Amino acid sequence: VFLRNQTNSFNEQGSRIKYINEIIQLINKRIEYINHMYSYLPEARIQTLVKCTLQDYLNKLIDAIKRSLETETYHDLDGLFKSISQITYIKDDFSKAFEDFILQKGREEITRIEKDTKKDGIDLPGDDVLRFYKENSNKYKFSSQAVNGFCLYLNHNWIQHNTQSQDIYEVFTCMKNWQKDVFQPLYKQVTHACLVLIKSERNNAIINTHLISGVIQSYVALGFTEDTTNNNQMTSPTPTTIYKEFFEVQFFQATKQFYRLEAATFLLHNSVTEYLRKVSQRLDEEVHRVQSYLHPSTLSALIKASPLQPQHMLQISAHLNVPGLRSICLKEVEEVLIRDQLYVIYSESKTLLRDERHQDLALLFKLVNRVPNATNELKKIVENHIYEMGINTIERVSGTAINDPKLYIETILDIHKKYLTLVQNVFNNAQDFIIALDKIAFNYVEDKDVYQKFYSRMLAKRLVGQLSASDDYEESMISKLKQACGYEYTSKLQRMFQDIGVSKTLVPEYEKYRENHRATGIADFSIMVLSSNSWPFSAPSNFILPIE
């Protein structure tokens, strides 16, 4: 009778409480009372009493938890589970039953929320489905985190009893259920709605980007996989698994289709230069789009799928034929807007170089530089242009420069300075272009004819006039020319130098001969014996050698 009265008393108190903290206090008081009776009551009787009395509180506890979730006011239930587990003589029996009951009720409530969410959102159109999904996803995620917070102790003990269960996901049970029961049925229309909004923004419409960013955050949060060999614990080597599979792939496909059509249309009615400006603008927009509401991992792949690719050079003229694109996941934009139309860009670069439209040329280089190895051909075009312009400039001053070596050198330096500025300002001081320019200054000039012509004449004047600062310097220069240009290029220069060496030997020998023969009546003179085919002297001579 005493025990029944005590039970009724507790039940009356339990019928009036509404909040979790009150239930915790009441259960703690009940446990303290039961522990007190343990010294004089049979263990079986105590177990029966505990099960009967605490079972009455479970439904009230579940109701209180539901109210807390709905109002987003959470209380710590961890103490409740700890208190129950302290009853050592019912721990293995009642504690597990209690935990199973709580989790079952929680699962039923979670499932109800998921089903209601799916039902309410399945037929929503456009922005409405995004707004619905974003709001419910955020609320569900927040609630699941709160439940996990106050169930830490319960999780720890309950999972130990259910290590063999294949439908238990430590910590992430709620998110796994959302993935299966809400995300899978709704993701197609949610993703499609996102892509429609993005397309509208590309067409200059103003959209609510927060809706897209909320969906993206939900997709990323769902990107975990379970390790069935390790108690179904969450593993997430790539947290963007869901995002990439169910959004990014479709996003790239839509991007490819949009820009392929835009490129074809734009190039039919505009010049390549205007197209390049359009491409640059689109790239900036895509970068801003990713930074604003997409996942950062999308940026590197998207840049390769944006208006910078060869296909955007698509119809610079009516005869451009754009082949099918490769997967947009890796190099979408470069393949679509640049690489496939590089020959069009290269052709335009010649015009820009000729007209010295450096700003447009810089933009062209910036875009081409996004495609691996695409600047190699552009470098050759620049080399040929600089060479032709340099040759034309040198030929214009050649008549005067023959007698004025300084003018020739200054002309070469002016050409180098002019195009060095071009490389620095237009081609971003690219090392390949710097090296090419240095070669053009001398050893990359086609056939080196101009340089050889001037150098051989200047060398001849120095040798004949004995104006060389050092024979060693002259020999060293010829040796370097031979290494850079080959034997044929320096063969005449070497013979010229050899002729001077022979002449320097002949004059002393003549002096010695004259002294030995006491030929004092012979005029004193010096002579140079030069090969007729090696020296650049072509002026006719009226001097007639006497007969021996």
- Are 288 and 352 part of one and the same domain? yes
- Answer whether residue 406 is part of any domain: yes
- Answer whether residue 40 is part of any domain: no
Report yes or no: 197 and 130 within 8 Å, Cβ to Cβ: yes
Of 320, 338, 372, which closes a domain?
A: 372
For 439, the domain range is 374-444
- Answer whether residue 61 is part of any domain: no
* Whole-number Å distance between alpha carbons of 381 and 372: 17
Please tell me what DSSP assigns to residue 122. T
What is the number of structural domains in the chain?
3
- Which two three-digit tokens encode residue 367? 């875009």
DSSP string, 322-373: PPPP--HHHHHHHHHHTGGGHHHHHHHHHHHHHTT-HHHHHHHHHHHTTSTT
Of 349, 372, 395, which closes a domain?
A: 372
Cβ neighbours of residue 143 closer than 8 Å, sequence gap 6 or more: 69, 72, 174
* pLDDT at site 357: 92
- Are 365 and 249 part of one and the same domain? yes
Q: pLDDT of 100-110, one tens digit each?
A: 555 555 555 55
- Answer whether residue 361 is part of any domain: yes
- Are 327 and 341 part of one and the same domain? yes
Helix boundaries (H) for 72-95: 78-85
Please report, as a single letter, which amino acid is at residue 170.
Answer: E
- Which two three-digit tokens encode residue 128? 């409405």
Distance, CA of 11 to chain centre: 65
Nearest to 343 by CA among 431, 415, 272, 416: 272
CATH number of the domain where residue 382 is located? 1.20.1310.10
* Whole-number Å distance between alpha carbons of 310 and 275: 12
- Answer whether residue 477 is part of any domain: yes
Of 372, 388, 403, which closes a domain?
A: 372
Residues of the chain with pLDDT under 70: 1-28, 30-126, 142-174, 224-239, 297, 299-334, 401-403, 405, 441-451, 484, 519-524, 538-543, 545, 548
* pLDDT at site 483: 74
Helix boundaries (H) for 182-323: 184-202, 209-221, 241-243, 249-269, 272-293, 298-303
DSSP string, 201-229: HHTT----HHHHHHHHHHHHHT--EEETT
* pLDDT at site 394: 78
- Are 358 and 340 part of one and the same domain? yes
- Answer whether residue 332 is part of any domain: yes
Length of the chain (residues): 548
- Answer whether residue 198 is part of any domain: no
* pLDDT at site 322: 25
Residue reference for tokens 């339990």: 14
